[in-house]
């Protein structure tokens, strides 16, 4: 693949052209820096050879971007004064906020993420992208090209924020809420788009599910190296619950409804996200995203339930095993000790629950009040982590310090 030509340095008043951030189907995205104020913007400019259809699509992207306002959708900015004159053609420029963290693909390609992102990073990403898609769908917009390259990262006050970009393939729903045009990146496209069939917002569910699976495991769920025709023929054979189609070393294709290991999720989250992925990756679009409790398009509410879980992680200092328990707002440590006994066989009276600093926890204390972050509101559940030391008959009490 040939590289795009090198940028020629340009200025526009106090604005200086700095670097090419990306090259897409329409043209280039360039970072500009204001040397007087320090402000930075990303300017998207179109190629000269755009077809009439793509010119219309470009105009639609600008129209959509200017009316959207959501923290997880990249924001439009005013084009700096005089910069439109530097455009290579008569098409308008699109100015957007600059997100210095790069795209999600760059993050996934880091060596430490080869088997998936850290648990906390996964939960934050799922929360951000679900919020963005909800907003787009409520505004009758289908993205149609959701993939790691179209998610950028911005450092917020407390954490990284994920933002959806590139609405060049987005489509506003018509009165029938069905579309037939074929766009997007093949590896993340829903089957009905590959088949050029009518489709709805559920195409974004498939892309979101594929993206989520990749962030959890480090690879895409369905035969990622196969060509589209062969891919479609084989993957359509999966059952509704299958979320993995893989090829082993002998060339045999395997189907599975379980999340593969290794990944960085605790057992509770792994089980719940496994079931959620089964909703998102259903082959048939009419069933996709339908939750048994919340009904059609209930996948976002189902994800809310997962993200709002309060989880207690208990480390057995003798075996090194971590046990994870969902807890309620009013649950006490006494009931947790009963659950620990059920899982480990250690009697309640022989358990000692300790905090990070080695302080003993009283059994009548409310579990959620023991967290270091219990006074801080959160949009993604804060793990509540303790350490317990089993006490066997005849042994003296031991103390220890563990990390939350």
Count of domains forming the chain:
3
* Stretch 74-100: mean pLDDT: 91
Position 203 confidence tier, pLDDT thresholds 50, 70, 90: very high
**Does 39 share its domain with 152?**
no
What is the per-residue pLDDT across 163-195, written as a single tens digit (0 to 9) for each?
Answer: 999 886 665 544 343 455 444 467 899 999 888
DSSP secondary structure of 157-215? SSSEEEEE---TT-EE--TT--B----S-GGG--HHHHTT--B-THHHHHHHHHHHHHH
Look at residue 86 and tell me whether its pLDDT is greater than 50.
Answer: yes
What are the start-end ranges of the H helices in 218-365?
228-235, 267-280, 299-307, 333-344
**Does 299 share its domain with 314?**
no
**Does 61 share its domain with 144?**
no
* Stretch 32-42: mean pLDDT: 95
377 compared with 128, residue with greater pLDDT: 128
Does residue 402 form part of some domain?
Answer: no
**Does 124 share its domain with 90?**
no
Mean pLDDT of the chain: 84
Q: For position 95, what pLDDT does the model report?
A: 94
Structural tokens at position 4: 């795009």
**Does 358 share its domain with 340?**
yes
What is the per-residue pLDDT across 320-367, written as a single tens digit (0 to 9) for each?
Answer: 888 889 988 888 888 988 998 999 888 888 888 887 777 788 777 788
Residues 6+ apart with CB under 8 A from 334: 348, 363, 364
Tell me what percent of the residues of the chain surpass a pLDDT of 90.
Answer: 55
- Burial state string for 161-177 with b = 16 or more CB within 10 A and e = fewer than 16: bbbbbbbbbbbeeeeee
What is the per-residue pLDDT across 219-239, written as a single tens digit (0 to 9) for each?
Answer: 999 999 888 888 999 999 999
**Does 257 share its domain with 379?**
no
* Stretch 90-97: mean pLDDT: 91
CATH of the domain at 51: 3.30.200.20
Does residue 133 form part of some domain?
Answer: yes
CATH of the domain at 328: 3.10.20.90
145 is catalytic: yes
* Stretch 270-283: mean pLDDT: 98
Residue 366 burial (CB < 10 Å; 0-12/13-18/19+)? middle
Domain's final residue, options 64, 97, 130: 97
Residues 6+ apart with CB under 8 A from 217: 115, 116, 259, 260, 263
pTM of the complete model: 0.86
* Stretch 33-57: mean pLDDT: 87
Domain range holding 337?
A: 310-390
**Does 46 share its domain with 20?**
yes
Domain's final residue, options 77, 97, 117: 97
- Identify the active-site residue in 103, 128, 145, 291: 145
Q: For position 379, what pLDDT does the model report?
A: 36
**Does 258 share its domain with 336?**
no
Q: d(Cα 293, Cα 88) in Å, to the nearest integer?
A: 53
**Does 241 share its domain with 358?**
no
């Amino acid at each position: 693949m040939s590289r795009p030509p090198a940028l020629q340095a340009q200025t526009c008043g106090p604005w200086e052209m700095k670097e090419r951030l990306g090259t897409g189907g329409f043209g280039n995205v360039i970072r500009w820096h204001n040397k007087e104020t320090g402000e930075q913007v990303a300017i998207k400019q179109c190629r000269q050879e755009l077809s009439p259809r793509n010119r219309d699509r470009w105009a639609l992207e600008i129209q959509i971007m200017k009316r959207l306002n959501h923290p997880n959708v990249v924001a439009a900015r005013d084009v700096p004064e005089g910069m439109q004159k530097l455009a290579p053609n008569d098409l308008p420029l699109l100015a957007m906020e600059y997100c210095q963290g790069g795209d999600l693909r760059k993050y996934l390609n880091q060596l430490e993420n080869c088997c998936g992102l850290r648990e906390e990073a996964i939960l934050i990403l799922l929360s951000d992208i679900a919020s963005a898609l909800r907003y787009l769908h409520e505004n009758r917009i289908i993205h149609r090209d959701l993939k790691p390259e179209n998610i950028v990262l911005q450092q917020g006050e407390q954490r990284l924020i994920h933002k959806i970009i590139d609405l060049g393939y987005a489509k506003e729903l018509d009165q029938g809420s069905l579309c037939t045009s074929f766009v997007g990146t093949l590896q993340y496209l829903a089957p009905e788009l590959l088949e050029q069939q009518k489709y709805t917002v559920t195409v974004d569910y498939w892309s979101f599910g594929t993206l989520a699976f990749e962030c959890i495991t480090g690879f895409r769920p369905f035969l990622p190296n196969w060509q589209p025709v062969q891919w479609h023929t084989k993957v359509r054979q999966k059952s509704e619950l299958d979320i993995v189609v893989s090829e082993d070393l002998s060339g045999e294709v395997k189907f599975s409804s379980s999340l593969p290991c290794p990944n960085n999720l605790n057992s509770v989250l792994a089980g719940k996200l496994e079931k959620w992925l089964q909703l998102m990756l259903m082959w048939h679009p009419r069933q996709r995203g339908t939750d048994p409790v919340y009904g059609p398009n209930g996948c976002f509410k189902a994800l809310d339930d997962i993200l709002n879980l309060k989880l207690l992680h208990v480390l057995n200092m003798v075996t090194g095993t971590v046990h994870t328990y969902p807890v309620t707002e009013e649950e006490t440590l006494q009931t947790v000790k009963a659950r620990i006994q059920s899982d480990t066989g250690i009697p309640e009276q022989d358990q000692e629950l300790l905090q990070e600093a080695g302080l003993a926890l009283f059994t009548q204390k409310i579990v959620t009040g023991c967290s270091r972050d219990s006074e801080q509101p959160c949009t993604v559940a804060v793990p509540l982590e303790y350490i317990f030391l089993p006490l066997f008959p005849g042994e003296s009490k031991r103390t220890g310090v563990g990390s939350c």
